[in-house]
Amino acid sequence: RMNKEQAKSRGDRVPGHEPCGIIDIIGHGVKKVKEGDRVTVYHYLGCGHCDQCASGNLMWCREARGYGGPVDGSHADYVIADERNCVPIPDSVSFIDGAFIACPGGTAFSSMKKLDVKAGNTVAVFGLGPVGLSGVAIAKAMGGKVIGIDILDLRLDLAKSIGADEVVNAKNDNPVDAIRNFTNGKGAMLAFEASGSTQGRTDIIHSLSRGGKAVFVGVGSNENVINPSQIIGSQLTLMGSFVLPLWLTWEMVGFVNSQKVSFEKAVTHRFSIDDAPLAYKIFDEGQTGKAVFEWN
């Protein structure tokens, strides 16, 4: 989600970086996908030749360009996509779940892979927007015991419906104390920071158990909150994570399909593209779960 200044800086481009749909027409030389294929579209274009592109990390290509800016994106009836970016999805994976795979779900999946969630691990998820809610669903499917933290009751309710075992409203309760209570004083083995807030980042450090691991994906605050002295005694591991590599998109389609994961419970608003001005207005108020455009 971009703020207004970021959106303006992208100029006169079609927004939308979470595309999923049906291939309508293929261009000259396209061999691996065909008309009628259902695909999720990886949202960074790379040069296709460099070391990062060769390893599937198109988001790190020095010529990386994202759909929705600077490349025209998917809030439109049609989007032009590179063949290599089109990852097939089976009929059992919905277009909405495919759109989640393209960005918020993919971002969460890449993070949960870094955390290496094992059955029975406690996973604290800070910030329950679309990325955090996706993290709840994925951590649950990996066997985690999930605690969701946010300051909006709507989002806590969505977290419960998508699989959280416990939720904490950080406006009313201290999340560090709540996490310690849920874990018999030990703290969470794993944590996922999707709020981008100073408070969320600070609380994470104090919520982890000895030997705990945290991954940070939420951007926002620029305050320095991490003091290395605090991670030494408990041997904490802190990591950053940014979207997902193209190769992991393929793995995630298989994971979502085989584990029957769905992110649709995070969706609170569905719009036709004709209602885009209203959709942007409602979404901008920040009181929604995931809002999506649908085509029939």
Footprint of Zn ion on this chain (CB under 5 A)?
46-47, 50, 53, 61, 103
Q: How far apart (Å, rounded) are the C-alpha atoms in residues 244 and 81?
A: 18
What crossing angle do the helices spanning 130-141 and 104-115 adopt, rounded to 10°? 50
Closest to Zn ion by CB, 61 or 208: 61
Closest to Zn ion by CB, 47 or 278: 47
**CB neighbours of residue 217 within 10 Å:** 24
List residues bridging with 190 in a β-sheet.
123, 213
Closest to Zn ion by CB, 189 or 194: 194
Closest to Zn ion by CB, 63 or 177: 63
Shortest Cβ 191–Zn ion spacing (Å): 21
Shortest Cβ 187–Zn ion spacing (Å): 30
Closest to Zn ion by CB, 48 or 211: 48
Q: Cis omega (within 30 of 0) on the bond before 15?
A: no
Shortest Cβ 242–Zn ion spacing (Å): 12
Shortest Cβ 68–Zn ion spacing (Å): 8
Shortest Cβ 62–Zn ion spacing (Å): 7
Closest to Zn ion by CB, 48 or 254: 48
Rg of the Cα atoms in the chain: 19
Shortest Cβ 179–Zn ion spacing (Å): 27
- Quote the Cα angle for 86-259-21, to 5°: 25
Q: In what order do the strands lie in the sheet with 86-88?
A: 20-22, 38-41, 86-88
Q: How far apart are the first and last CA of the chain?
A: 25
Q: What number of residues does the chain have?
A: 296
Residue 266 — φ and ψ, nearest 5°? -80, -10
- Encoded tokens for 231: 């991670």
